[in-house]
Amino acid sequence: MANFCGFLNLNKPAGLTSHDCVARVRRLLKMKRVGHGGTLDPAATGVLPIALDRATRLLQFLPDGKAYRATVRFGLQTTTDDLEGEVIAAHAVPHLDLPQVQAALPQFVGQIQQVPPMYSAIQVQGQRLYNLARAGETIEVPVRSVVVSRIEILAWRSGDFPEIDLEIACGPGTYIRAIARDLGEVLQTGGTLAKLERTESCGFQLADSLTLEDLEIRLPQEIWQPLPPDAALRHLPAIDLPVPAAQRWCQGQSIPWSPGMDLSKAMIRVYHGDDRFLGIGQWVQVDETELLAPRIVFDNNL
């Protein structure tokens, strides 16, 4: 079996947790060192970035923007804010029309305050919320500030329990289930998430993704290779180091470097020669000297 190192842009199927997908990939590739970037609910489908071998060290540097295609069903409320939970209330709302929903959507764009669903993986008082919910405990879930950069309407279906398809682009920590719930509250109809597909995550796109079945077919034919370790790091500035600076940097030494711009808060992709990815560096200043310090040395075989 080949020694894979890089990223798998996985199209997660419904019914599997993100952890289940990691376990499946471990078995298929016969690898222990596998991780994922960004949990996706079991009922949801779409992009789940999977890091292989040393690429797991790069997960922390991936861009954090995400995008989804979501279906919201009105007239329905559930314990989990999606169709996986028990129904709390169901009332036909045939009077609801598209202009009413359109008028309510702008308040969900921008920096908004959001209460995560009670059935979610965030921790409160050292415990996962879903564990507290399953134990029947009632706890006040803290409000979070999240950013939704765009909501677009894709389709509208009227009826007793009308549905709307939305495309939503957002930052980390945003719960689409909470948007569905809160949209229903604003419209005084109730609302829940009926379907969710992640179309973008950490720089990976759904159009370029691969299913577990695709992977199973391609592996025996030896026609699959992971994406390069730096495939989703293009949002970071880059520098190409000559020898011997590259050798010293790969040995853990900080080297003199003046970028000519303020990169004090940025991570920097470090290369040598013909696009050889060496790792992630960071600009630091010691006294009056500007330096490029190693943050992650990915390839030190110079």
Catalytic residues: 41
What HEC string does the chain produce?
CCCCCEEEEEEECCCCCHHHHHHHHHHHHCCCCEEECCCCCCCCEEEEEEEEHHHHHHHHHCCCCEEEEEEEEECEEECCCECCCCEEEECCCCCCCHHHHHHHHHHHCEEEEECCCCCCCCEECCEEHHHHHHCCCCCCCCCEEEEEEEEEEEEEECCCCCEEEEEEEECCCCCHHHHHHHHHHHCCCCEEEEEEEEEEECCEEHHHCECHHHHHHHHHHCCCCCECCCCCCCCCCEEECCCCHHHHHHCCCCEECCCCCCCCCCEEEEEECCCEEEEEEEEEEECCEEEEEEEEECCCCC
